[in-house]
Amino acid sequence: MTIASDRWTPPFADWEGWFALDIDTLYDNWVVGPNYGLQLRQQDLDSDDGQEMYSSDACIFPCSLFVDSLWFFEETDCDGGNLVEICYEVTDADGDSIFVEFEVTDSDSAVPTHTVLDTVPGYLPPNIGWVLSGTHCFFWDMGADYPGYEGCDFDIGINSFNETTEILTVTDSFYIPDAEGVAWDGEYLRVTRSWYDSGLDTQRVFRVDPITHEIFADSCITDDLFDGYTADCEWYNGYLWILGGGLSNQRAKLFKFDVPTCTILDSSDALIPPTRWGQGIAWFGTHFYVTDSRGKIYEVDPTPPYTPTLWLDLETMHPGLFPGATSVDAMVFALGYIWLLRNPGPANHILIQFDFTGSIVDSFALSSTAGFGPEGITWDGSCFWYTDHAKDYVYRVCLWGCYDSLTVGGCLDSRQPEVDIDCSPETVYIGDAIYEGGNDYAAVRTGVETVSVGGPEETEKFILSVIGEV
């Protein structure tokens, strides 16, 4: 589809880049180049001959959101801890609130980042999450989240988002008949196929490349494993956790699925009361969370016997939000909120955003009729993926008109020995220094003399020489 807009002048002076463009190319460029947004405008014109004419017009406008700089350094004090101070500068010329999240990788493998301390002196919180333009710093406790590692292949990235809209922007999609659950493992999508369609009555667990959409040969056939169909799924700790669906014999049971061997390693009893379907499953913090079809959310212990406890009763808090055939079909935690996928959604508003008290924050709609279809949902760090059972597609949808990110690399160290001693001036100690790139620094203070050694092997050799073992 080509949108041509060169036959009349822009309606506003600040609409620049006015030209004929191919919409597919535009979306491709928009995804690759984050600092450009899209405005579409449809004009109803009366022609001279009395016939109605319609002109769709578009313009590319530069986003105002930028991550201008990012740096980090590690502080190893004499307290047995390893704190990484991460600082960044983010600006938005429009003055909008900005959502900021960070990620850490070690040789391209994702690193846990659960322990964040927003308490850096001189920087009033919040410095992560929803922030304003400016310079922000926060601590990440590497010793708590990723102990025993050392190297110089660490990357720390800052992702920023703003300009939320109420219409979900479809940025990608691929075809899978009867797609049901979807989970993000940090690199690939895991998509389950559950319900039965003529000629396609097979249950599957697919591994899908999110960029090329390749379905890998190691995808699993699961017809003989599940007694009935399944609901959504979640990736946690190297396993795919699948929730039993419907009112079958496996209703609302939790299955621990080992993808490499295509086997069920463990399962629970039903996690919700009888007559209710199991629908959504998500991992957050230290527990699983599952929801029934009407919005009752249960916290589930991640170890056998997988004990459930009612955690949040959205059905009681919001009567009529999921009436009749309208049901909660999936859930996910992202951006500091709870997100429920509704099927179908009134006025196409299929995605509902809740805070942790159960209050509704916002809702988001599709650009076309949803129908009975949305089933599973996951978050890839920037956008949502959801499965549409009726349309046989998996869609990537984003809330953002603008986003930007920046990644820097360096050295980090959480290996033993960690210091937990009284650091008097005559004491041999490691670290107690702040410098960019990491804490691979060993020193002994002897009055006015300081000796330093860099590198993992040199560090250990120096330590042993000081304590008299070499």
- One DSSP character per residue, 223-248 reads TTT-SS-EEEEEEETTEEEEEE-TTS
Whether 255 contacts 242, CB under 8 Å? yes
Q: Is the pLDDT assigned to residue 442 strictly greater than 70?
A: no
Give the pLDDT confidence score for residue 281 in this predicted structure.
95
* pLDDT for residue 65 is more than 70: yes
Range 14-35 average pLDDT = 36
Which residue would you say has higher pLDDT here, 461 or 104? Answer: 104
Give the burial class of 202: count Cβ atoms within 10 A of its Cβ; 0-12 exposed, 13-18 middle, 19 or more buried.
middle
**Distance between CA 454 and CA 319 in Å, rounded?**
63
The whole-angstrom separation of Cα 416 and Cα 413 is: 9
Residue identified by tokens 């599709």 is 366
- Identify the CATH homologous superfamily for domain 177-391: TolB, C-terminal domain (2.120.10.30)
pLDDT band at residue 50, thresholds of 50, 70 and 90?
very low
Check residue 208 and give its pLDDT.
Answer: 95
Q: Beta strands 384-388 and 374-379: pairing type?
A: antiparallel
pLDDT at residue number 287: 94
DSSP state of 271: S
Asked if the model's pLDDT at residue 400 lies above 70, the reply is yes
Nearest to 191 by CA among 118, 125, 259, 102: 259
Question: Could you read off the pLDDT of 302-359 as tens digits, one per residue?
Answer: 999 999 999 999 999 998 888 877 888 899 998 889 999 988 766 677 889 999 999 9
Burial of 94 (0-12, 13-18, 19+ CB in 10 A): exposed
Is the pLDDT at 121 greater than 60? The verdict is: yes
Between residues 291 and 275, the one the model is more confident about:
291
Question: Would you say residue 295 has pLDDT above 60?
Answer: yes
Backbone torsions φ then ψ of 125, nearest 5 degrees: -65, 155
pLDDT computed for residue 430 by the predictor: 41
Query: What six digits make up the tokens of 224?
Result: 């003989």
What does the angle CA 165 – CA 167 – CA 170 come to, to the nearest 5 degrees?
110
Nearest CA among 111, 139, 108 for reference residue 123? 139
Give yes or no for a contact between 42 and 54, defined as CB atoms under 8 angstroms apart: yes
Residue ranges covered by each domain of the chain: 2-62, 65-163+406-466, 177-391
Query: In the predicted model, what is the mean pLDDT of the chain?
Result: 75
Q: For the chain, give the secondary structure using H, E and C.
A: CEECCCCCCCCCCCCCCCCCEEHHHHHHHHHHCCCEEEEEEEEEEECCCCCEEEEEEEEEEECCEEEEEEEEEEECCCCCCCEEEEEEEEEECCCCCEEEEEEEEECCEEECCCCEECCCCCCCCCCCEEECCEEEEEEEEHHHHCCCCEEEEEEEEEEEEEEEEEEEEEEEEEECCCEEEEEECCCCEEEEECCCCCCCCCCEEEEECCCCCCECCCCEECCCCCCCCEEEEEEECCEEEEEECCCCCCCCCEEEEECCCCEEEEECCCCCCCCCCEEEEEEECCEEEEEECCCEEEEECCCCCCCEEEEEEHHHHCCCCCCCCCEEEEEEEECCEEEEEEECCHHHEEEEEECCCCCEEEEEECCCCCCCCEEEEEECCCCEEEEECCCCEEEEEEEEEEEEEEEEEEEEECCCCCCCCCCCCCCEEECCCEEECCCCEEEEEECCEEEEEECHHHHHHHHHHHCCCC
The pTM for the full model equals: 0.62
pLDDT at 325: 75
Condensed to tens digits (0 to 9), the pLDDT of residues 216-273 reads 998 998 888 887 778 899 999 999 999 988 766 778 899 999 999 999 999 999 898 8
Distance CA 271, CA 293 (A): 13
Mean pLDDT, to the nearest integer, of 99-128?
88
Confidence band for 419, pLDDT divided at 50, 70 and 90: very low
Contact 154, 420 (CB under 8 A): no
Distance CA 366, CA 169 (A): 8
Residues 122, 87: Cα–Cα separation, whole Å = 12
